[in-house]
Structure 1
Amino acid sequence: MKIKTYVADNIQEAFYKVKTELGKDAVILQTKHIKKGGLLGFFAKNMVEVVAANDIDISSVQSAPKKPTIQVLPDIIKPEAAATTELVQIKSEVKELKDMINKLISVQKQSTDDIKADQSNISSPLKDIYNRMSDMEIETDIINAVISGISAEIKEGSSEIDLRNIFKKEIASLVDATEPIELSRENNIIAFVGPTGVGKTTTIAKIAAHFSLYKNKRVAMLTTDTFRVGAIEQLRLYGDLMEIPVFVVYNLEDMKLIHKDISNYDLLLVDTMGFNPNNRMQIKKIKGLLDNICPTEIHLVISASTKTCDLIDILNNYKELQYTKIIVTKLDETKSYGVLLNTIKAAKNCKLSYLTMGQNVPDDIEVASADRIADMILGEI
């Protein structure tokens, strides 16, 4: 295997050098930003260092001398004893498999019985709403609460329009008030956290465009995501298009240096690195960084296609970061909107701020609202 280190002005130039010398099948082992040149530490140029390797040289491996191997004789077991031991093991595994299948059947039957019991006392018009909410993968206890609320208000002879209006009222009672970003002070610092691939950077660009182009505010963007390849370039591209400055923080010392620069802006939007929600070390690293940035608000960004079980893990594991608002992205990539209500229930004392449904900047974003959520669940959008 041939390993080489390349230094270039930017990531694209470095990748070009790698492909030119090592071929298109080269493997990138490491990328990092470095400072090179200058005098006594001053005027150093920001550059990119890439460590890459090409495929393993098979011929060299074949020509390498092989270590002598020592053969070990297996233990000698009588055929009768071996057969008896194997038969006992097989019987044990079959029994475990049967118990597992019976348990799964029992759980599934209980779930079906619960659904039937839930619908046994529901009138025909409400069954459609019940089934619709179930199709949206809304948790059963939320569905039962909504149906109970509708049943208490619906009157004999109510029209379909009356039923839908009552339904929207029940949804509104669950959603409560939503809270988008409000610039209540001179220097507002809003940080965005969340798992990898949920669309934090694009969402930040949309919000930056909204306040810069439509609200005429002085906006800046800051990224701490120096790990993901292309993350800085993506945010800088948005910044160039909207004429919004972009600051890059590689370490805590950088944050101290740019504090004076960012004090001149009405709004600073902070992009953080995405990571596995179960990675406690990364959470503590982001927590330390946010403690130095001192954001006025922290928004947790999640994807609408997130499964409920994974959603609960994300909400619980990110609690250490003290987020207060939630943004749900990629609503255009799913037909199941139950995650909106499931999120509200699981994230106590947190409110929805924005919904996004596409990649277009500055479009495809809106302030979350109860009516909008109800319309999506009812299939009216």
Structure 2
Amino acid sequence: MRIKTYIADNIQEALYKVKSELGKDAIILQTRQIKKGGILGFLSKTKVEVIAACDVNATAKPMSNPVIYSVPKRENSQEKLEDIKNEINEVKDMLKNLYSRGVHIEKPLPDLPSPLGEIYQRLKLMEIDKDLIDKFIDGLKRDFPGENFDENAAKTYLKNQIISIIKPTEPIKFLESEPSKIVFVGPTGVGKTTTIAKLAAFYTLNQGKKVALVTADTYRVGAVEQLKTYGDLLEIPVEVIFEPKEAPILLKKLSGYDLILIDTMGTSPRNKMQIKKIKGLIENIKPTETHMVISATTRTGDIYEILENYKEINYQKLIFTKLDETRTYGLILNAIYSTNCSPSYLTVGQNVPDDIEVASAAKIADLILEGSDR
């Protein structure tokens, strides 16, 4: 089998290259969007990468009418027209196949006047959901018509529109008669344990709260030891849940504390069985709040699958980590918009307890429109 990678400006051009070289019987193995060029990730162009294959033993069937720059003869015009129709139908069939596999086909940029076009490009660069971009641009065209386009007023309008989508931000709430039991869930490697340590340090050292740590992450090597190290430094207890049924007894033991922060095992969002185990654990804990922890470096194409597959856990708030490791912040808005959950905290580094702050709708809007100064 012959396998080759093609890079083009759009999917149609890439498929044309595939058909031209490998023939119409080529198999599309993978398609994805990639960034090319630019400086430090900015001003880079989005390209489409297609990996295709064909049987080297089969006779390649090239396109019936490759690109020819000479003027066709009149007597062959009908035949060539039929060839072109056949090519169009073949491309349509390939596109339908890609759509059926859930591949995103990017639409061409809309024809917008210069100021609006720049705003559109900024939102697109931030990888904001296409439906949201269309909503923002439609509002700008409606409220700022004509040639006298006030760019500053438009940006203020856009910032307010972004803020209006974000539900009121909510940090941890404390109960009066019992501890607040806060559970943290999310995929592997998003920074749940470090985030818990930051919150424990903040509420212990800055707020004078009695805080206890609990971990059910007995799968990851070193996870328990990592949390116990933080507990020793802060001089607060760290307990381990080995089985979900142990949770009620252990939590009763900690009933004299103000705040109990509970770490769970990270897992692939596609591991449905592991997610069900986490759900069973949470049902035994009966938490005050469940926070979904999301890395801001997550691929845009993966975030919706993660949020959807964790939905059965019934998380209510979102924490966004690793903002210092990306320059693309549209994921934050996409996640809030698609889940209708409130953001709770943002983290911007590994330092405990400094690199964490209560989420702010205005801060999220500024990140999207202006970027970070870190």
Instruction: Name the TM-score, length of structure 2 as normaliser.
Output: 0.70
Which residue does the alignment assign to 2:117? 127
Give 1:90's match in structure 2, choosing from 49, 58, 62.
58
Which residue does the alignment assign to 2:81? none
Aligned length: 287
Instruction: Confirm whether residue 358 of structure 1 aligns to residue 349 of structure 2.
Output: yes
State how far apart, in whole Å, the 1-side matches of 2:105 and 2:309 are: 31
Give 2:252's match in structure 1, choosing from 252, 256, 260.
260
After superposition, the Cα gap between the structure-2 partners of 1:109 and 1:201, relative to the gap in structure 1 and judged at 3 Å, is closer
Question: 2:119 corresponds to which letter in structure 1?
Answer: I
Which residue does the alignment assign to 1:312? 304
Instruction: Confirm whether residue 328 of structure 1 aligns to residue 342 of structure 2.
Output: no
After superposition, the Cα gap between the structure-2 partners of 1:245 and 1:380, relative to the gap in structure 1 and judged at 3 Å, is same
- How far is 1:148 from its partner? 2.1
For the residue of structure 2 that corresponds to 1:306, the secondary structure is coil
Q: Is the 8 A contact 1:150 1:170 kept in 2?
A: no
Q: Is the 8 A contact 2:279 2:312 kept in 1?
A: yes
Q: Is the 8 A contact 1:168 1:370 kept in 2?
A: no
Which residue does the alignment assign to 1:193? 185
Q: Is the 8 A contact 1:332 1:358 kept in 2?
A: yes
Question: 2:211 corresponds to which letter in structure 1?
Answer: V
State how far apart, in whole Å, the 2-side matches of 1:124 and 1:132 are: 12
Q: Is the 8 A contact 1:154 1:166 kept in 2?
A: no
Give 1:238's match in structure 2, choosing from 230, 233, 255.
230
Q: How does 1:1-381 map to 2 (within 5 A)?
A: 90-91=58-59, 99=90, 103=94, 111-113=106-108, 115-116=109-110, 120=111, 122-154=112-144, 157=148, 159-185=150-176, 186-347=178-339, 349-381=340-372
State how far apart, in whole Å, the 1-side matches of 2:124 and 2:56 are: 45
State how far apart, in whole Å, the 2-side matches of 1:341 and 1:364 are: 21
State how far apart, in whole Å, the 1-side matches of 2:305 and 2:368 are: 24
Q: Is the 8 A contact 1:225 1:271 kept in 2?
A: yes
State how far apart, in whole Å, the 2-side matches of 1:180 and 1:164 are: 28
Question: 2:297 corresponds to which letter in structure 1?
Answer: S
Question: 1:178 corresponds to which letter in structure 2?
Answer: T
Cα RMSD (Å): 2.9
State how far apart, in whole Å, the 1-side matches of 2:61 and 2:168 are: 54
Question: 1:288 corresponds to which letter in structure 2?
Answer: G
After superposition, the Cα gap between the structure-2 partners of 1:320 and 1:92, relative to the gap in structure 1 and judged at 3 Å, is farther
Question: 2:348 corresponds to which letter in structure 1?
Answer: M
CA-to-aligned-CA distance 1:87-144 (integer Å, 9 cap, x gap): 997258989xx9579836998997343x23xxx2x33222211101111111211111
Q: Is the 8 A contact 2:167 2:343 kept in 1?
A: no
State how far apart, in whole Å, the 1-side matches of 2:245 and 2:238 are: 17
- How far is 1:155 from its partner? 7.0
Q: Is the 8 A contact 2:319 2:346 kept in 1?
A: yes
- How far is 1:272 from its partner? 0.3
After superposition, the Cα gap between the structure-2 partners of 1:268 and 1:102, relative to the gap in structure 1 and judged at 3 Å, is same
After superposition, the Cα gap between the structure-2 partners of 1:91 and 1:100, relative to the gap in structure 1 and judged at 3 Å, is farther
After superposition, the Cα gap between the structure-2 partners of 1:253 and 1:176, relative to the gap in structure 1 and judged at 3 Å, is closer
Question: 2:207 corresponds to which letter in structure 1?
Answer: K
For the residue of structure 2 that corresponds to 1:286, the secondary structure is helix
State how far apart, in whole Å, the 2-side matches of 1:224 and 1:253 are: 12
Question: 1:90 corresponds to which letter in structure 2?
Answer: A
Which residue does the alignment assign to 1:32? none
State how far apart, in whole Å, the 2-side matches of 1:294 and 1:364 are: 29
State how far apart, in whole Å, the 2-side matches of 1:336 and 1:256 are: 41
Q: Is the 8 A contact 1:277 1:317 kept in 2?
A: yes
For the residue of structure 2 that corresponds to 1:111, the secondary structure is coil
Q: Is the 8 A contact 1:190 1:298 kept in 2?
A: yes
- How far is 1:335 from its partner? 1.1
State how far apart, in whole Å, the 1-side matches of 2:216 and 2:106 are: 45
State how far apart, in whole Å, the 2-side matches of 1:215 and 1:284 are: 35
After superposition, the Cα gap between the structure-2 partners of 1:369 and 1:256, relative to the gap in structure 1 and judged at 3 Å, is closer
Q: Is the 8 A contact 2:327 2:371 kept in 1?
A: no
- How far is 1:256 from its partner? 4.0
For the residue of structure 2 that corresponds to 1:300, the secondary structure is strand
- How far is 1:161 from its partner? 3.0
State how far apart, in whole Å, the 1-side matches of 2:324 and 2:332 are: 13
Question: 2:280 corresponds to which letter in structure 1?
Answer: G
State how far apart, in whole Å, the 2-side matches of 1:175 and 1:288 are: 30
Q: Which runs of 5+ in 1 are unaligned?
A: 1-86
Question: 1:352 corresponds to which letter in structure 2?
Answer: P
- How far is 1:380 from its partner? 4.4
Deviates more, 1:175-184 or 1:187-196: 175-184
- How far is 1:151 from its partner? 3.2
State how far apart, in whole Å, the 1-side matches of 2:359 and 2:243 are: 34
State how far apart, in whole Å, the 2-side matches of 1:112 and 1:280 are: 33
After superposition, the Cα gap between the structure-2 partners of 1:224 and 1:111, relative to the gap in structure 1 and judged at 3 Å, is closer
